[in-house]
């Protein structure tokens, strides 16, 4: 399982408008869709949080970027 939080998304959304924020989310979601394996699942669980269920992946510890 992996969790991605888009840091500073609220600031971007407020500064550039909700239409631009929506477009950013769509772009991010499309990038994720083409990056995960067919057996993996990706979910948007919050305004700027995404959860990935990575089938068969082995844990390697937590990482932050």
- pLDDT, residue 50, reads 92
**Regions of the chain short of the pLDDT cut 70:** 61-65
Global pTM reads 0.72
- pLDDT, residue 58, reads 80
- pLDDT, residue 28, reads 92
Active-site residue 22, yes or no? no
Residue 57 in 3-state DSSP? coil
Residue 4 forms beta bridges with which residues?
50
- pLDDT, residue 35, reads 87
User: Which residue is catalytic, options 5, 7, 40, 48?
Assistant: 48
Q: Taking the CA atoms of 38, 34, 7 and 17 in sequence, report the sign of the dihedral they define.
A: negative
- pLDDT, residue 65, reads 58
- Whole-number average pLDDT of the chain: 88
């Amino acid at each position: 399982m992996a969790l991605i939080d888009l840091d500073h998304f609220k600031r971007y959304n407020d500064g550039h408008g909700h239409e631009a924020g929506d477009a950013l989310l769509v772009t991010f979601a499309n990038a994720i869709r083409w990056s995960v394996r067919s057996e993996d699942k990706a979910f948007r669980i919050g305004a700027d949080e995404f959860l990935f269920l990575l089938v068969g992946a082995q844990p390697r510890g937590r990482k932050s970027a």
